[in-house]
Homo-oligomer: A and B are copies of this chain.
Amino acid sequence: MPTIQLEITSGKLAGEGVITAQKKLSQLENVFQDEATRKSMDQDQLIYEVQAYMPVEEGKEGGLYFGNSTIFPGKVNNEYFMTRGHFHTKLDTAEYYWCIQGKGALILMDEEGKTWLEEMTPGSVHYIPGKIAHRVANTGDEKLVFNACWPSEAGHDYATIEKDGFGARLMEVDGKPQLVQNKKEMV
Contacts and interface: CB of A to CB of B under 8 A. Distances in A.
A59 interface: no
Given A6-B98, A9-B8, A149-B149, A62 B92 contact: yes
11 contacts: A1-B126, A3-B124, A3-B125, A5-B125, A8-B9, A8-B122, A56-B94, A56-B129, A64-B149, A64-B150, A66-B96
A35 interface: no
Given A55-B129, A64-B150, 19 more contacts: A1-B126, A3-B124, A3-B125, A4-B125, A6-B123, A8-B8, A8-B100, A9-B9, A53-B127, A55-B127, A56-B94, A62-B90, A62-B151, A63-B129, A64-B96, A64-B149, A66-B98, A94-B152, A151-B151
A118 B9 contact: no
Contacts of A124: 3-6
Contact of A123 (B5, B96, B127): B5
Q: How large is the interface on A (under 10, 10 to 19, 20 to 34, 35 or more residues)?
A: 35 or more
Nearest to A152: B94
A58 interface: no
A53 B149 CA distance: 14
A170 interface: no
A13 interface: yes
A82 to B, nearest CB: 19
A89 to B, nearest CB: 12
A69 to B, nearest CB: 16
A16 to B, nearest CB: 12
Contacts of A15: 125
A94 B13 contact: no
A130 interface: yes
Interface string A33-54: 0000000000000000000010
